[in-house]
Each structure stands twice: as structure tokens, then as C-alpha cells.
């Protein structure tokens, strides 16, 4: 692990952002030149949503990985912001491409469709995380208050994965993997302090 940690320290944070935006570039390429299947709007929506979920899972996995002596903490902010970018674009695709800015229908969905409600809850939970992701916010709020606020990431990931489950309607292997990873990461937060080899910041 020491070798991996040494290699990770050599990777600039901007590389994570650059690689993280590659899936977005591929989606744009597919939208312009074809290749997204018979329903490109749904493909764009699902692609953006899944990338957002994947990056949020990756950011939450940073803490338990430290228990294995793999320290990727310096990349957690980038992974979290990439998740927020993709989730925001996912919402934008739904509002603009899918619903065609039909606000009355969208408001109706926000009161009737559980998967839409949960998706919105997940997005709203991520806003304060993105707004306070800079170092100055930690200094102004204090580390304890900042850590408490950023536990909203647990709300966001749970809402996001249930949103995916309800939207999929079928228990595919992919959906089960997302659900299993989410529950595992959340369960690790419930492990008693004494049961861990060392305590790490959530």
C-alpha cells in the first residue's frame, strides 16, 4: 500500500477532473454522432445519473479505504464535485430534454412519483456539500460543523440508489451491485469506534 500511496501523491488533482469528464465527452459524442440507441434522451439521462452515483460512491469509499492503509483523501473533493456535476446535468436533461420544460407536469411528478421525489431529495442534499467543498468553508464553519454537514452525503447516496432502483423496476445485476455497495458503505459508518483498527474522519 505504501507504493500505491506514493504513486497517488504524484497524481495531480486536475487529472481526476479530466478523467472524470471523459464519460461526459463520450455522451456528447454519442448524442451528436449517434450510438446512443433508439432513445438517446433516456440514454443521456441514465448515463449522467449513473456517473453521478458512481462518483459519489467512489468519494464515500475513500474513508473505508484508509482502513486498508490506502490514502486517497486528496481526491475525495474532486470525486464529490464530479458527482455533483453529473447529477446536476442529469436533472437538467430531465427538465430540458425529457420533460421539455413542462413545469406543470414536473411539479406533478414531484408530488406523485416516488422516484422523482427521491431524486430531487438526493440533488438538494448535494447542494450544500458542493457549496462548502472549498477549504475556506472548513475554516469558517469549523471542522466539527463541516463534518456534520457533510454527512448529508449519506442522504444523497441513499436517495440516489433508491431512485435508481425504483426507476429501473427490475432487479438487474447492475442495480443489485449499486444497492449492495451503497448499503455496505453506509453500514461501515455504523461500526462501533472500538471495532475499527483506527478511527478516521467520515
Q: What is the pLDDT of residues 71-106, one digit of tens each?
A: 888 899 999 999 999 999 999 999 999 999 999 999
pLDDT of residue 71: 84
Of these ranges, 9-18, 44-53, 191-200, the one predicted with the greatest mean pLDDT is 44-53
Q: Domain extents for the chain?
A: 2-195
- pLDDT of residue 164 exceeding 50, the answer is yes
- pLDDT of residue 166 exceeding 50, the answer is yes
Closest CA to 181 of 8, 74, 59, 97: 59
Each as own residue / partner, the long-range contacts of residues 73-77 (CB below 8 Å, 24 or more positions apart, any chain) are 74/8, 74/9, 74/13, 75/8, 75/11, 75/13, 75/16, 77/13, 77/133
Distance between CA atoms of residues 91 and 93, nearest Å: 5
Per-residue pLDDT of 64-74, as tens digits, reads 888 888 888 88
pLDDT band at 10 (very low <50, low <70, confident <90, very high): confident
Distance between CA atoms of residues 165 and 148, nearest Å: 27
Amino acid at each position: 500500500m505504501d507504493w500505491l500511496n506514493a504513486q497517488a501523491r504524484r497524481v495531480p488533482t486536475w487529472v481526476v477532473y479530466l478523467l472524470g469528464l471523459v464519460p461526459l465527452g463520450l455522451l456528447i459524442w454519442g448524442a451528436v454522432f449517434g450510438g446512443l440507441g433508439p432513445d438517446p434522451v433516456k440514454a443521456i439521462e441514465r448515463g449522467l445519473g449513473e456517473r453521478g452515483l458512481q462518483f459519489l460512491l467512489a468519494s464515500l469509499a475513500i474513508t473505508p479505504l484508509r482502513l486498508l492503509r490506502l490514502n486517497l483523501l486528496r481526491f475525495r473533493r474532486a470525486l464529490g464535485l464530479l458527482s455533483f456535476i453529473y447529477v446536476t446535468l442529469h436533472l437538467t436533461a430531465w427538465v430540458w430534454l425529457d420533460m421539455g420544460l413542462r413545469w406543470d407536469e414536473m411539479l406533478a411528478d414531484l408530488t406523485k412519483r416516488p422516484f422523482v421525489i427521491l431524486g430531487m431529495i438526493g440533488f438538494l442534499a448535494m447542494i450544500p456539500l458542493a457549496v462548502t467543498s472549498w477549504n475556506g468553508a472548513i475554516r469558517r464553519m469549523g471542522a466539527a460543523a463541516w463534518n456534520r454537514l457533510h454527512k448529508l452525503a449519506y442522504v444523497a447516496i441513499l436517495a440516489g440508489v433508491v431512485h435508481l432502483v425504483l426507476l429501473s423496476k427490475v432487479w438487474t445485476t447492475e442495480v443489485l451491485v449499486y444497492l449492495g455497495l451503497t448499503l455496505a458503505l453506509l453500514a461501515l459508518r455504523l461500526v462501533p469506534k472500538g471495532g475499527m483498527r483506527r478511527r478516521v474522519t467520515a
